[in-house]
Amino acid sequence: MPLSIDGMNIGLYGNRPTNFGSGYQTNQLERVTPVAQRLNDAQERLQERQRLEQDRQEQLREAREQRIAEQEQREERALQLRLEREDAAQALDEQLREQRLETVQEQREAYFNSLSPENLARQRAQLETSAPAVSSGQISPRLAAEAISTYRQTESPDFISRSLVA
């Protein structure tokens, strides 16, 4: 189409596109908007990912803290059980020791008590087995040995006498 000299066709050959607003061509503002929109969308996605990552980290930290607390509870319970077992073992040892001590004391009392039935039976057996020629003025060797040991236990000599005897 030739240029018109009278200016009738100026609109056809101007700066503006003939299909303004038809969507095929865009102006600068329309071209910048999608980039800004994409940037905003990318920032929102990044923020969402960061929030999800923080949530995941929080969950991992809570799970780790829970495992640590459970481990501490198990260790505390194991320590408590061990202490209870040790206490029970010590109590049993103490009880057994007291029983043995009581038994030894009872045996000792029965042995040294001259009026106990065991001691009287022992003395009769010794008298029956000893020689009939023993006169009443003599004492048995066993009784003499007991008297001597009792004397030594109650009347210990002083240090100088012990050194002389040794």
Q: How confident is the model at residue 111 (pLDDT cuts 50, 70, 90)?
A: confident
Please give the tally of structural domains in the chain.
1
Domain, as residue range, for 88: 53-126
Give me the chain's average pLDDT, please: 78
Helix (H, G, I), strand (E, B) or coil at 25: coil
User: 85 in a domain, yes or no?
Assistant: yes
0.85 surpassed by pTM: no
Q: How confident is the model at residue 88 (pLDDT cuts 50, 70, 90)?
A: very high
Q: How far apart are CA 47 and CA 65, in angstroms?
A: 26
User: 121 in a domain, yes or no?
Assistant: yes
